[in-house]
Chain A
Amino acid sequence: MGTRFARRCFLAVPALLGLLLAGCATGRLDATKPVGQEARDIDFLMRLSGWMAVGVGIFVAAAVFAIIVKFRAKPTDDPDDLPPQVHGNRKAELTWTIIPTALLVFLTIFTLPTVFDLARVNAAEDARTIRVEGQQWWWQFSYDLNKDGRYDIVTANDLVIPTGEKVNLEIESNDVIHSFWIPQLNGKKDAVPGRVHDWTIRSDEPGIFYGECAEFCGLSHANMQMRTIVLTPDDFERWVEEQLEGKAAAQAAPAEGSAEAAGAALFETHCISCHVVDGPYESAAGGNANLLAGIAPNLTNLMSRTAFAGALYETYQIGPDGEYLRNPDGSLKLNLAELREWVRNAPDMKPARADNQQGMLDFSEVLTDQDLDNLMAYLQTLGSEPVLPATNAGAG
């Protein structure tokens, strides 16, 4: 009986594995699909240790299984007849102390160099350093292009980097502890208030790689997402230019009497105590002095970001297969409905405690429909549409 049962169990294994694979539909945060050197080094260690663990696990499971099948007391046994009374075996015990130790030494030898490699930033003179700031509940990325100590591009939710480059990150927090994590590009690094943590990311291919805050940071922790948009060096240069252009364009006041102008006025009344647009509303930056953008995202070039509200919502509409939808003229289809609803009543779309300066206020009692239309018109003037990676135009 025992052997037939055993055979059945072994037949069940491939069936189970099949089921497992079926469930492994790749998500967009999959740590086991690395695209950069750092993430690949980590992946190697995970696979090495994982397979060793599976090996040891099968050994133990087989032993337990053998005990269940082979050493089960039989009803026919004389209840007073004892099995051989073995109290121990010095040699055996020594063996199974030494073997695990050896396996662990082996793993340690592979581990330690990687620990130090991951801690090493790109020391090249032309290395790019981007400041990453976590705050409840969104990420801000600041670029100092000419290394003059002033940030030239300040953006939110979308971290844009070129391919093939080991990009340095200076990770900070403006309130509580967060953790920066783009699974396919590198492991996590905590953003701790009062500290600056060096970290790097690198991607070999263009694409959109998703990430999120991984350290519990309060009410809307689940909604503190981000994405890394990896562009070819040429595309990246284009993105930089467009950002600077957008910044310049934002200085110009909209034509008088237009909806945009009405929106700009509303923006000045209701938004600038928290939000900033470089140029006209820069000086309004209040709240936390560490922030260029005040306590809410800097909205210069808002339209060039693929997502808003902590990357919870798409700025542009996505089709059923995750592809970007386009207007007849080839431009991206704005997700106006959700953007408008977000401005009207943000706490309804993302948990927040605005009364405690945590998250955006509810404006549904403040802004009329006309106000919202005007605001939408103004916001659409902020920046041009995003530069999307050539090989991965989708978000799914």
Chain B
Amino acid sequence: MAIVTDRPDSADSPDGSGPGTELEVAEPDSHGDDSPRTGVFARPTHATGWREWLFTVDHKKIGIMYGALALFWFLIGGLEIGLVRLQLWAPDGEVISADFYNQLFTMHGVTMVFLVIMPLANAFANYLVPLQIGARDVAFPRMNALGLWIFFFGGIFLNLSWFLGGGADGGWFAYAPNTGMTFSPGHGMDFYALGLQIAGIASLLGAINLLVTIINMRCPGMSLLRMPVFTWMILVVQFLLVFALPVITVALILLTFDRTFDANFFNVDAGADPLLWQHLFWIFGHPEVYILILPAFGVVSETLPVFSRKPLFGYPIVVLSGAAIGFMGWGVWAHHMFTSGMGPVSVAAFSATTMFIAVPTGVKILNWIATMWAGKVRFTVPMMFSVSLVAMFTIGGLSGVMHAIAPADTQQTDTYFIVAHFHYVLVGGALMGMFAGMYYWWPKAFGYHLNDRLGRWHFWLMLLGFNVTFGPMHIVGLQGMARRHSVYGEFDGFEFWNKIATIGYFLMLIAMVILAVNIFRTWGRYRRGLEPGAGADPWDGRTLEWAIPSPVPEHNFDYVPVVSDVDDFWHKKYQPDETGKLRRIAYGNDIAQIGDQHPHLPSPSYWPIVLAMGMPLIGFGLIYNLWIAGIGLLLLVGSMFGWTLEPATDPDAGHGHGHDGYGDHDDDHGGGNHDDSPDGQDDGNGVLTASTANGEAAGD
């Protein structure tokens, strides 16, 4: 049984989509039996072109699509705030109306949090977690696709409000009762409530999927404390998501019921207490902050050791402090409410808990510094972004301690001091980390490096523009400039620093244009064969994703890797010599797997995207006409049936019997101590994939 596909080298897969020929080649295989259970309709078999992407269940393609969508929304969210910055250029600005201004800052916040940073983290998590734990895919590949498409439609739904009467105008935090029908009669807040609800379903699906994947599908030998820190942080984040999202779901349901069905959850005249919304929102909202930042912490915990050529300093402490942040993040939500009037005892308690969440965060920063200390630091573009995260996030963290002091917060909250603080956390921290990850894993995903010179321009302009934009906001905030004010007066003394901040915005805008040029130009050059391939292990990496070809073949691993240490792949390249000094014994590109196996993979499916399409229809129905919701519901239920009747893996699609150790054959060449019992892919309607069984060997 020898099916030969080309190795995914640069010439054959210019778009970075992997070999893409798996199914096509597999089709003529005589392996399929004559009574295939393929579901109600024929399955998609497109192996190329756009349809391959629409119906794929491959975690890597899904990850790339998450990333592309996030960058698109980043553009939108960035342009939205550009108008705000222009409005604030001078006192009594008249560039845009107060109404439009309120919509812009609301949608900027919603977009950047829910449609940019969360999906960016999702992009990396989807792409990398299976690779870092040595799995062939996530636990539920079709569900993974469903999450992507629900997110896709949710984002579009949310932003369609711009064309249907205006965006949400209640702030991303949407404090009741200002968001009720009485005070916000337009449809903007309906789109907000339902759009976030839809995006939340996507996040929840992704979180469950990744949790199951990380817990069950680690390769033999990869105990929890041998897991790469990025995967660890993603694990913590998925726990946070699973527990935090239900809270916002409830809050949004209450809001939707108030607005759509005249309920009284936030109607003060009917006896409601508006602080209910604040508590619900921030019990979700504060863990959300860690949902946004921890993936970036994970990224730099990968890049700093690689580019310092040293192991991560205090790996268990870094992991544990990440988990500690995750736990403590649940006990600090009311620090967003120090002025809400909840009483001094609550204020004192939350003030103290908030201060001490700085301890594990500080430990992380010092461990990263110790990782770089006495190393041989290579300042590549991903490393520059990573180091800037360490420095910039520190600033955001320190100003965070300042408003953990509740009395100080009564002066700082709702001013630009807070705006400065959380942008240092989310741009200086999360986004810098995501950019580091982009430059770092780009060669892995697409097979070539992003241009280094353009990358450096991007970095320096970004770092400069970021500080020029948000640095002055500390000052102007202490001078008393309140947030969400569409104008300021000429006697307020805010003009100078606002001008500087607006200039900084444009510097960042230029940085983003350079990033876009870099992406498209380098892609074009690669297609024309002008960019060299990156090879499997371009950075001298430490984790498993570098032990397979770039771009990653559709099946990820030829055979199941077996690990015996943290940074196992690195130890296969360096071993101590007789004097005990570490010496290189091999090069990554030489010992990486070659990607020539053709195992049975989960098949593409129409159902995820069709099911997801039902969601926005239900949303429109709740806003305009319940009949539309009925159509959406039919689509949703119908595709659920179609989905259920369709086996995860198309029996018609053949598969090769590689020596891969993943349990879909009986040749245990991979060396794992997994059992060979029939696994998920053989029972037809299971959702587990071919790569389930190997997880059983992964216990601690």
Which A residues lie at the B interface, using CB under 8 A?
20, 23-32, 39, 41-43, 45-46, 49-50, 53, 56-57, 60-61, 63-64, 67-68, 71-74, 77, 80, 82-89, 92-93, 96-97, 100-101, 104, 107-108, 111-112, 114-116, 118-119, 136, 171, 175-177, 179, 181, 183, 186-190, 192-195, 197, 212-223, 322, 351, 356, 358, 395-396
Contacts and interface: CB of A to CB of B under 8 A. Distances in A.
18 contacts: A20-B475, A30-B480, A31-B478, A49-B405, A71-B376, A82-B582, A84-B310, A104-B356, A111-B355, A115-B344, A115-B351, A187-B411, A193-B177, A193-B274, A194-B268, A216-B414, A218-B169, A358-B183
A395 B415 CA distance: 22
Contacts of B366: 93, 96
Contacts of A212: 482, 485
Contact of A57 (B398, B472, B478): B398
B494 A27 contact: yes
B339 to A, nearest CB: 4
Nearest to A350: B98
Interface in B400-417: 401-402, 405-415
Contacts of A358: 183
A303 B583 CA distance: 87
Contacts of B494: 27
Interface in B161-200: 169-171, 175, 177-178, 182-185
Interface stretch (B29-37, B311-319, B455-463, B517-525): B311-319
B485 A192 contact: no
Given A67-B369, A177-B274, A214 B415 contact: yes
A71 B339 contact: no
Contacts of A217: 178
Contact of A119 (B99, B343, B405): B343
Nearest to B369: A63
Nearest to B485: A222
A80 B408 contact: no
A219 B171 CA distance: 11
Given A116-B348, A351-B99, A23 B341 contact: no
B483 interface: yes
Contacts of A89: 313-314, 370
Contact of B408 (A49, A63, A97, A119): A49
Contacts of B183: 136, 175-176, 218, 356, 358
Contacts of A43: 411
B593 interface: no
B486 A27 contact: no
A223 B487 contact: yes
The 4 closest A-B pairs by CB, nearest first: A187-B410, A29-B480, A27-B493, A222-B485
Interface string B494-524: 1011001000000000000000000000000
A108 B583 CA distance: 50
B479 A29 contact: yes
A32 B477 CA distance: 10
B536 interface: no
Interface string B370-404: 10111111110000000100110011001101100
Given A29-B492, A187-B339, A104 B358 contact: yes
B497 to A, nearest CB: 6
B640 interface: no
- Count class of interface residues, chain B: 35 or more
Nearest to B356: A104
B339 A188 contact: yes
A56 to B, nearest CB: 6
B390 A64 contact: yes
Nearest to B494: A27
A374 to B, nearest CB: 31
Contacts of B351: 108, 111-112, 115
B64 to A, nearest CB: 31
Interface string B295-328: 0000000000000111101111100000000000
B579 to A, nearest CB: 13
Contacts of B584: 80
A304 to B, nearest CB: 22
Nearest to B179: A176
A266 B44 CA distance: 75
Given A112-B348, A219-B169, 8 more contacts: A23-B497, A31-B479, A46-B405, A74-B376, A96-B363, A177-B178, A187-B410, A216-B178
A130 B409 CA distance: 24
Contacts of A42: 407-408, 410-411
A322 B493 CA distance: 13
B401 A104 contact: yes
Nearest to A49: B402
Contacts of A216: 102, 170-171, 175, 178, 414, 483-484
B648 to A, nearest CB: 41
Nearest to A101: B359
B340 interface: yes
Contacts of A77: 376
Nearest to A214: B414
B358 A183 contact: no
B475 A83 contact: no
B372 A67 contact: yes
Contact of A215 (B390, B407, B414, B583): B414
B624 interface: no
B411 A46 contact: yes
B272 interface: yes
Contacts of A53: 398-399, 401-402
Interface in B335-355: 339-341, 343-344, 347-348, 351-352, 355
